[in-house]
Structure 1
Amino acid sequence: MKKSILFPAACSLLAWLPIHAFGGDCDTSRRASTPSSRFAVDGEEVRDKRTGLVWLRCSVGQRWDGKRCFGEIRLLRHQEARRHAAALGHGWRVPAIEELAGIVERRCQNPAINRNIFPDVAELYDNSAKYWSDTPIAEIPPLIYNIDFLTGEADGSTELARLGVRLVKGPIR
């Protein structure tokens, strides 16, 4: 089951345009859905000024070196992701689907995220970069929503699948 969160757009193929601010293929004629100005950067964390949520800039398994994320992204099962967040403490958690969808950059693909804010998102496996949410799909109880940060689309996976994890803290939206 695919539920599109990204409205498909013809992405610009003009390599000389200044699209490096977001990376990948971006339609620069469209307004950014996650402009860098929306975020307050503080080292390895960023606060979304619109939602008040605080995100880790790097995926679980990576570390922030002051400029970028380095290391291997860990692919975790859903319960492993939840346990990892709980072990970090300080309110870190797996985001709800609406929160995760809120950081999708709708004018870009490959990746569909603002790479200035969330660098080093790349294919994890099978032409995808799927990240866990903590939201079950009500219509299909064994599935939990995820977001593919290459395409920006939502999908569902069983809790035994191994996906990327991006942690958040703040009030659940």
Structure 2
Amino acid sequence: MLIAFNKPFGVLSQFTDKGLAGSKRPTLSNYIDQAGVYPAGRLDRDSEGLLLLTDDGKLQARIADPKHKMEKTYWAQVEGVPDDEALESFRKGLMLNDGPTRPAGIQRMDPPEALWERDPPIRYRKSVPDCWLEVRLREGKNRQVRRMTAAIGHPTLRLIRYSIGEWSLEGLAPGEWREASL
């Protein structure tokens, strides 16, 4: 079984909250009632979008393990508007504190159509413009997109994973899931 889930902002990518005692952060169990499925990879609590879950360990490894180089596409709303030089440095790969990143795809994009409102909304500043970027990666360092946009001088305000390989969140509202084809 393979499940495509549109993870809302603030939801943990696990079925239980092993955080602070008494913590009541929302988890996957608030949305998905299928037994025996587990996330194929992670998506930070403050990121939104596609999370795949499966009951097939081999498929889980193929999706999540960076050695398989499955492309992931993200939509990142960033502070400011990166110039062509910043985008080119991103494409070539950047040096982060844990080492270099692989080359990555990036391009400016129009705001995504039919994008849902985030709860809570992002912080807007009248004096600082923002823009949307489409980012394509084939690796998965911790908080990589956020760290890469910050490294080119454009911190991420909102991050949505749109697709993993052939699977996308097309047609899924936040908190909704569906069985996906293998």
Q: Normalized against structure 2, the TM-score is what? A: 0.26
More helix by share: 2
Q: Indicate the structure whose relative CO is greater, using CA pairs within 8 Å and at least 6 residues apart.
A: 2
Larger radius of gyration: 2
